[in-house]
A and B are shown apart, each in its own frame.
Chain A
Amino acid sequence: QSVLTQPPSASGTPGQRVTISCSGSSSNIGGNTVNWYHQLPGTAPKLLIYSNNQRPSGVPDRFSGSKSGTSASLAISGLQSEDEADYYCAAWDDSLNGWVFGGGTKLTVL
């Protein structure tokens, strides 16, 4: 049972826009910034979005993040086949004094 809640799966067709939600509480998302990671099978996770809505250099602007209250969302527009991966949200939790992750969302490009 993860502290942050994500849907286990999401899907879309090439060119579509998909969103992945991440729900938390006041001790994590509500009081701290949210980061998103993606992971291809058999590889290490990579930073996708940091500080709620910032993209590291090299990440296409098709990826965007937002946060409102105790929830956050990752949006992917212009879906491409290479976007098929697992996506995780994360935030620092002030009550647990540690990082918490969502359970992950497996994105399938149909």
Chain B
Amino acid sequence: EVQLVESGGGLVKPGGSLRLSCAASGFTFSSYTMNWVRQAPGKGLEWVSSISIGSSDIYYADSVKGRFTISRDNAKNSLYLQMNSLRAEDTAVYYCARADHYFDFWGQGSLVTVSS
């Protein structure tokens, strides 16, 4: 059974940093492009970042470019999102999602709250 479990969310002050992790199991992690997608409270879905199987192709939404860094460790079946210079508008549930051509499996999400 495919499982994606996010962790690392919490309350952080504006300008602060946080690192999210996503532990994958039930499939060959190193064979799939992985993504982060977020959802602000009461709002729709927003794609954040994608990383290819060998980390050679990385993409970011303009809203996080230069502040967030996606990475993966295929030996540990793990995906990461380093978030720096956090802003109030980054407050959201962050989902880890498996996707080559569509997001076929999603984690349960990790809440990040940016507030003073």
Contact = CB atoms under 8 A, between A and B. Distances in A.
A95 to B, nearest CB: 12
B44 A103 contact: yes
B45 A51 contact: no
A2 interface: yes
Given A44-B95, A97-B59, A98-B60, A2 B104 contact: no
A98 B47 contact: yes
A47 interface: yes
Given A44-B95, A104-B44, A99 B104 contact: no
A88 B45 contact: yes
Contacts of A47: 102-105
A79 B36 CA distance: 32
Given A33-B101, A98-B59, A45 B47 contact: no
B60 A104 contact: no
Nearest to B4: A44
Contacts of B108: 44
Nearest to B65: A98
A20 B47 CA distance: 21
Interface residues of B, number: 22
B102 A98 contact: no
Contacts of B11: none
Contacts of A51: 101-102
Contacts of A90: 45, 47, 102-103
Given A44-B108, A47-B104, A50-B101, A37 B45 contact: yes
User: What's the interface size class on A, roughly?
Assistant: 20 to 34
A46 interface: yes
A35 interface: yes
B35 interface: yes
B50 interface: yes
A56 B95 CA distance: 20
Interface of A: 2, 33, 35, 37, 39, 44-47, 50-51, 56, 86, 88, 90, 92, 96-104
7 contacts: A37-B103, A45-B95, A45-B106, A98-B59, A99-B35, A101-B47, A104-B45
